[in-house]
Chain A
Amino acid sequence: MSEFFHMGGYAFYVWGSVGVTAVVMIAVAVSAILKHRRELCRISRRLRRERKSV
Protein backbone atom coordinates (compact mmCIF):
# COMPACT_ATOMS: atom_id res chain seq x y z
CA MET A 1 0.00 0.00 0.00
CA SER A 2 2.74 2.48 0.91
CA GLU A 3 4.44 1.39 -2.31
CA PHE A 4 1.32 2.53 -4.16
CA PHE A 5 1.46 5.98 -2.58
CA HIS A 6 5.21 6.17 -3.15
CA MET A 7 4.74 5.80 -6.96
CA GLY A 8 8.33 4.64 -7.47
CA GLY A 9 9.69 7.96 -6.21
CA TYR A 10 7.42 10.05 -8.42
CA ALA A 11 4.74 10.57 -5.76
CA PHE A 12 4.89 14.38 -5.87
CA TYR A 13 4.47 14.48 -9.66
CA VAL A 14 1.83 11.75 -10.01
CA TRP A 15 -0.30 12.75 -6.99
CA GLY A 16 0.24 16.42 -7.78
CA SER A 17 -1.18 15.85 -11.26
CA VAL A 18 -4.13 13.82 -10.01
CA GLY A 19 -4.76 16.39 -7.24
CA VAL A 20 -4.70 19.44 -9.50
CA THR A 21 -6.98 17.68 -12.00
CA ALA A 22 -9.46 16.72 -9.26
CA VAL A 23 -9.51 20.16 -7.64
CA VAL A 24 -10.05 22.02 -10.92
CA MET A 25 -12.73 19.60 -12.18
CA ILE A 26 -14.61 19.69 -8.88
CA ALA A 27 -14.46 23.49 -8.75
CA VAL A 28 -15.86 23.84 -12.27
CA ALA A 29 -18.65 21.33 -11.57
CA VAL A 30 -19.60 23.00 -8.28
CA SER A 31 -19.73 26.44 -9.90
CA ALA A 32 -22.08 25.07 -12.60
CA ILE A 33 -24.35 23.50 -9.95
CA LEU A 34 -24.40 26.72 -7.90
CA LYS A 35 -25.20 28.80 -10.97
CA HIS A 36 -28.24 26.64 -11.73
CA ARG A 37 -29.39 26.72 -8.09
CA ARG A 38 -28.91 30.49 -7.88
CA GLU A 39 -31.12 31.03 -10.92
CA LEU A 40 -33.86 28.79 -9.51
CA CYS A 41 -33.80 30.70 -6.19
CA ARG A 42 -33.83 34.07 -7.90
CA ILE A 43 -36.82 33.16 -10.07
CA SER A 44 -38.84 31.64 -7.24
CA ARG A 45 -38.18 34.74 -5.08
CA ARG A 46 -39.44 36.93 -7.89
CA LEU A 47 -42.54 34.82 -8.41
CA ARG A 48 -43.36 35.00 -4.69
CA ARG A 49 -42.96 38.78 -4.73
CA GLU A 50 -45.26 39.02 -7.73
CA ARG A 51 -47.90 36.89 -6.05
CA LYS A 52 -47.84 39.05 -2.94
CA SER A 53 -48.17 42.26 -4.89
CA VAL A 54 -51.20 40.98 -6.82
Chain B
Amino acid sequence: MNSFMKWFHKWGSPPWFYRVSGKMLPWLTGLFVITLVYGLYAGLVLAPADYQQGDSFRIIYVHVPAAWMGMFIYMVMAAAALVHLVWRMKMADVVLISSAPIGAAFAFIALVTGSLWGKPMWGTWWTWDARLTSELLLLFIYLGIIALHSAVEDRQSAGRATAVLTLVGVVNIPIIHYSVVWWNTLHQGTTVARLDGPAMAPEMLWPLLSMAFAFKLYYVIVMMLSARGEVLARETKSRWVRELVGGK
Protein backbone atom coordinates (compact mmCIF):
# COMPACT_ATOMS: atom_id res chain seq x y z
CA MET B 1 0.00 0.00 0.00
CA ASN B 2 1.43 3.39 -0.89
CA SER B 3 1.45 6.28 1.52
CA PHE B 4 -1.52 8.01 -0.12
CA MET B 5 -3.73 4.99 0.42
CA LYS B 6 -2.55 4.77 4.02
CA TRP B 7 -3.44 8.41 4.57
CA PHE B 8 -6.76 7.81 2.87
CA HIS B 9 -7.61 4.87 5.10
CA LYS B 10 -6.65 6.74 8.25
CA TRP B 11 -9.11 9.52 7.45
CA GLY B 12 -11.71 6.87 6.75
CA SER B 13 -11.54 5.75 10.36
CA PRO B 14 -14.05 7.64 12.58
CA PRO B 15 -12.03 7.51 15.84
CA TRP B 16 -8.90 8.69 14.03
CA PHE B 17 -10.86 11.49 12.38
CA TYR B 18 -12.37 12.51 15.71
CA ARG B 19 -9.02 12.61 17.51
CA VAL B 20 -7.01 14.36 14.79
CA SER B 21 -9.72 16.91 13.93
CA GLY B 22 -9.93 17.80 17.63
CA LYS B 23 -6.20 18.53 17.64
CA MET B 24 -6.31 20.52 14.39
CA LEU B 25 -9.29 22.76 15.20
CA PRO B 26 -7.54 25.30 17.49
CA TRP B 27 -4.77 25.86 14.92
CA LEU B 28 -7.19 26.19 12.05
CA THR B 29 -9.31 28.62 14.06
CA GLY B 30 -6.27 30.78 14.89
CA LEU B 31 -5.25 30.94 11.24
CA PHE B 32 -8.86 31.70 10.28
CA VAL B 33 -9.03 34.69 12.65
CA ILE B 34 -5.72 36.10 11.35
CA THR B 35 -6.66 35.83 7.67
CA LEU B 36 -10.17 37.15 8.33
CA VAL B 37 -9.03 40.19 10.32
CA TYR B 38 -6.35 41.06 7.77
CA GLY B 39 -8.75 40.54 4.85
CA LEU B 40 -11.49 42.70 6.38
CA TYR B 41 -9.14 45.47 7.49
CA ALA B 42 -7.18 45.61 4.23
CA GLY B 43 -10.32 45.25 2.13
CA LEU B 44 -12.69 47.61 3.90
CA VAL B 45 -10.19 50.20 5.19
CA LEU B 46 -6.83 50.13 3.38
CA ALA B 47 -7.83 49.35 -0.21
CA PRO B 48 -8.64 52.47 -2.25
CA ALA B 49 -12.14 52.99 -3.64
CA ASP B 50 -12.69 51.74 -7.17
CA TYR B 51 -12.50 54.46 -9.84
CA GLN B 52 -15.80 53.36 -11.38
CA GLN B 53 -17.74 51.70 -8.57
CA GLY B 54 -16.54 53.79 -5.63
CA ASP B 55 -16.82 52.08 -2.26
CA SER B 56 -19.55 49.70 -3.44
CA PHE B 57 -16.82 47.48 -4.94
CA ARG B 58 -15.90 46.42 -1.36
CA ILE B 59 -18.83 44.00 -1.51
CA ILE B 60 -16.38 41.91 -3.55
CA TYR B 61 -14.63 40.89 -0.29
CA VAL B 62 -17.60 38.83 0.84
CA HIS B 63 -19.38 38.17 -2.45
CA VAL B 64 -16.57 36.59 -4.45
CA PRO B 65 -15.12 34.34 -1.71
CA ALA B 66 -18.66 33.15 -0.89
CA ALA B 67 -19.38 32.38 -4.55
CA TRP B 68 -16.06 30.52 -4.88
CA MET B 69 -16.84 28.51 -1.75
CA GLY B 70 -20.29 27.63 -3.08
CA MET B 71 -18.61 25.90 -6.02
CA PHE B 72 -15.58 24.58 -4.14
CA ILE B 73 -17.69 22.87 -1.47
CA TYR B 74 -19.80 21.29 -4.18
CA MET B 75 -16.68 19.81 -5.79
CA VAL B 76 -15.54 18.44 -2.41
CA MET B 77 -18.99 16.88 -1.99
CA ALA B 78 -18.86 15.39 -5.48
CA ALA B 79 -15.46 13.83 -4.71
CA ALA B 80 -16.86 12.49 -1.43
CA ALA B 81 -19.87 11.08 -3.29
CA LEU B 82 -17.56 9.25 -5.70
CA VAL B 83 -15.46 7.84 -2.84
CA HIS B 84 -18.62 6.81 -1.03
CA LEU B 85 -20.06 5.00 -4.06
CA VAL B 86 -16.83 3.31 -5.15
CA TRP B 87 -15.18 2.36 -1.83
CA ARG B 88 -18.23 2.44 0.44
CA MET B 89 -16.34 4.62 2.85
CA LYS B 90 -18.59 5.80 5.70
CA MET B 91 -16.58 8.94 6.40
CA ALA B 92 -17.16 10.13 2.83
CA ASP B 93 -20.89 10.22 3.50
CA VAL B 94 -20.26 12.10 6.75
CA VAL B 95 -18.14 14.69 4.92
CA LEU B 96 -20.76 15.04 2.18
CA ILE B 97 -23.72 15.66 4.43
CA SER B 98 -21.75 17.85 6.85
CA SER B 99 -20.64 20.03 3.92
CA ALA B 100 -24.07 20.52 2.34
CA PRO B 101 -25.49 23.16 4.76
CA ILE B 102 -22.24 25.15 4.55
CA GLY B 103 -22.35 25.06 0.74
CA ALA B 104 -25.99 26.13 0.79
CA ALA B 105 -25.11 28.99 3.16
CA PHE B 106 -22.38 30.24 0.81
CA ALA B 107 -24.62 29.98 -2.27
CA PHE B 108 -27.24 31.97 -0.35
CA ILE B 109 -24.66 34.59 0.70
CA ALA B 110 -23.41 34.89 -2.89
CA LEU B 111 -26.97 35.49 -4.12
CA VAL B 112 -27.91 38.04 -1.43
CA THR B 113 -24.65 40.02 -1.58
CA GLY B 114 -24.81 39.87 -5.39
CA SER B 115 -28.28 41.35 -5.20
CA LEU B 116 -27.06 44.07 -2.83
CA TRP B 117 -24.27 44.84 -5.31
CA GLY B 118 -26.52 44.63 -8.36
CA LYS B 119 -28.99 47.24 -7.13
CA PRO B 120 -26.59 50.21 -7.01
CA MET B 121 -24.44 49.09 -9.99
CA TRP B 122 -26.92 47.54 -12.46
CA GLY B 123 -30.05 49.24 -11.18
CA THR B 124 -31.77 45.96 -10.36
CA TRP B 125 -31.83 43.49 -7.48
CA TRP B 126 -32.26 40.53 -9.78
CA THR B 127 -32.18 39.49 -13.44
CA TRP B 128 -32.76 36.05 -14.93
CA ASP B 129 -29.46 35.74 -16.70
CA ALA B 130 -27.21 32.70 -16.88
CA ARG B 131 -24.86 33.45 -13.97
CA LEU B 132 -27.59 34.37 -11.50
CA THR B 133 -29.97 31.61 -12.53
CA SER B 134 -27.32 28.88 -12.40
CA GLU B 135 -26.21 30.11 -8.96
CA LEU B 136 -29.84 29.97 -7.76
CA LEU B 137 -30.01 26.44 -9.15
CA LEU B 138 -26.89 25.58 -7.10
CA LEU B 139 -28.69 26.70 -3.93
CA PHE B 140 -31.69 24.53 -4.83
CA ILE B 141 -29.45 21.52 -5.50
CA TYR B 142 -27.84 21.95 -2.07
CA LEU B 143 -31.29 22.13 -0.46
CA GLY B 144 -32.40 19.08 -2.46
CA ILE B 145 -29.38 17.10 -1.23
CA ILE B 146 -30.10 18.04 2.40
CA ALA B 147 -33.81 17.21 2.02
CA LEU B 148 -33.15 13.87 0.33
CA HIS B 149 -30.64 12.81 2.97
CA SER B 150 -33.05 13.54 5.80
CA ALA B 151 -36.08 12.10 4.00
CA VAL B 152 -34.71 8.57 3.57
CA GLU B 153 -34.97 6.65 6.83
CA ASP B 154 -32.29 4.00 6.24
CA ARG B 155 -28.86 5.59 6.57
CA GLN B 156 -27.18 3.46 3.90
CA SER B 157 -29.80 4.11 1.23
CA ALA B 158 -29.91 7.77 2.18
CA GLY B 159 -26.14 8.02 1.73
CA ARG B 160 -26.14 6.28 -1.62
CA ALA B 161 -29.10 8.22 -3.04
CA THR B 162 -27.56 11.49 -1.89
CA ALA B 163 -24.23 10.59 -3.47
CA VAL B 164 -25.91 9.90 -6.83
CA LEU B 165 -27.86 13.17 -6.69
CA THR B 166 -24.65 15.04 -5.82
CA LEU B 167 -22.86 13.57 -8.84
CA VAL B 168 -25.73 14.46 -11.17
CA GLY B 169 -25.68 18.05 -9.90
CA VAL B 170 -21.98 18.46 -10.81
CA VAL B 171 -23.06 19.38 -14.35
CA ASN B 172 -24.16 22.77 -12.97
CA ILE B 173 -20.68 23.74 -11.75
CA PRO B 174 -19.01 24.36 -15.15
CA ILE B 175 -22.23 26.09 -16.25
CA ILE B 176 -21.88 28.57 -13.36
CA HIS B 177 -18.18 29.10 -14.03
CA TYR B 178 -18.44 29.62 -17.80
CA SER B 179 -21.86 31.33 -17.81
CA VAL B 180 -20.22 34.75 -18.10
CA VAL B 181 -18.29 33.56 -21.16
CA TRP B 182 -20.98 31.55 -22.96
CA TRP B 183 -23.88 33.98 -22.63
CA ASN B 184 -24.39 37.71 -22.63
CA THR B 185 -24.88 38.74 -19.07
CA LEU B 186 -24.93 41.75 -16.79
CA HIS B 187 -22.45 39.96 -14.55
CA GLN B 188 -18.85 40.93 -15.12
CA GLY B 189 -16.38 38.42 -16.48
CA THR B 190 -13.56 36.63 -14.71
CA THR B 191 -11.28 39.08 -12.90
CA VAL B 192 -8.91 36.99 -10.80
CA ALA B 193 -8.39 33.49 -12.29
CA ARG B 194 -7.33 34.66 -15.75
CA LEU B 195 -4.63 33.20 -17.96
CA ASP B 196 -2.96 36.61 -18.28
CA GLY B 197 -2.99 37.15 -14.51
CA PRO B 198 -5.51 38.91 -12.28
CA ALA B 199 -6.95 42.17 -13.66
CA MET B 200 -6.88 43.82 -10.27
CA ALA B 201 -4.53 46.12 -8.37
CA PRO B 202 -2.46 44.24 -5.74
CA GLU B 203 -3.77 46.35 -2.84
CA MET B 204 -7.27 45.22 -3.82
CA LEU B 205 -6.30 41.66 -4.72
CA TRP B 206 -4.40 40.65 -1.56
CA PRO B 207 -7.32 41.26 0.81
CA LEU B 208 -9.55 39.30 -1.57
CA LEU B 209 -7.19 36.31 -1.57
CA SER B 210 -6.92 36.53 2.22
CA MET B 211 -10.71 36.52 2.57
CA ALA B 212 -10.95 33.57 0.18
CA PHE B 213 -8.42 31.68 2.31
CA ALA B 214 -10.30 32.63 5.50
CA PHE B 215 -13.58 31.33 4.04
CA LYS B 216 -11.85 28.09 3.05
CA LEU B 217 -10.58 27.66 6.61
CA TYR B 218 -14.06 28.46 7.92
CA TYR B 219 -15.43 25.66 5.77
CA VAL B 220 -12.87 23.14 7.04
CA ILE B 221 -13.48 24.18 10.65
CA VAL B 222 -17.29 24.10 10.53
CA MET B 223 -17.35 20.94 8.44
CA MET B 224 -15.10 19.21 10.99
CA LEU B 225 -17.26 20.41 13.91
CA SER B 226 -20.40 19.17 12.23
CA ALA B 227 -18.77 15.90 11.11
CA ARG B 228 -17.61 15.27 14.71
CA GLY B 229 -21.21 15.50 15.88
CA GLU B 230 -22.34 13.28 13.02
CA VAL B 231 -19.65 10.68 13.78
CA LEU B 232 -20.68 10.56 17.43
CA ALA B 233 -24.33 10.11 16.43
CA ARG B 234 -23.43 7.22 14.12
CA GLU B 235 -20.93 5.49 16.39
CA THR B 236 -22.88 5.94 19.61
CA LYS B 237 -22.58 2.31 20.61
CA SER B 238 -18.93 1.77 19.69
CA ARG B 239 -16.22 1.34 22.30
CA TRP B 240 -14.14 4.39 21.40
CA VAL B 241 -17.15 6.66 21.89
CA ARG B 242 -17.90 5.07 25.26
CA GLU B 243 -14.30 5.56 26.32
CA LEU B 244 -14.26 9.12 25.02
CA VAL B 245 -17.44 10.21 26.79
CA GLY B 246 -17.09 7.96 29.84
CA GLY B 247 -13.50 9.11 30.40
CA LYS B 248 -14.63 12.67 30.99
Residue positions of A touching B, CB distance < 8 A? 4, 7-10, 12-14, 16-18, 20-21, 24-25, 27-29, 31-33, 35-40, 42-44, 46-47
Contacts and interface: CB of A to CB of B under 8 A. Distances in A.
Contacts of A44: 245-246, 248
A4 B101 CA distance: 33
A43 B66 contact: no
B63 interface: yes
A32 B229 CA distance: 8
A28 B223 CA distance: 10
B109 A14 contact: no
Contacts of B49: 8
Interface residues on chain B, size class: 35 or more
Contacts of A43: 232, 236, 241-242, 245
Contacts of A37: 229
Interface of B: 44-45, 49, 54-56, 58-59, 62-63, 66, 98, 101-102, 105, 108-109, 112-113, 116-117, 119-120, 218, 221-223, 225-226, 228-230, 232-233, 236, 241-242, 245-246, 248
B112 A17 contact: yes
Interface of B is mostly: helix
A41 to B, nearest CB: 9
A42 B116 CA distance: 42
A33 B25 CA distance: 12
B56 A8 contact: yes
A35 B231 CA distance: 11
Contact of A14 (B58, B233, B246): B58
Contacts of B241: 43
B62 A17 contact: yes
A48 B221 CA distance: 30
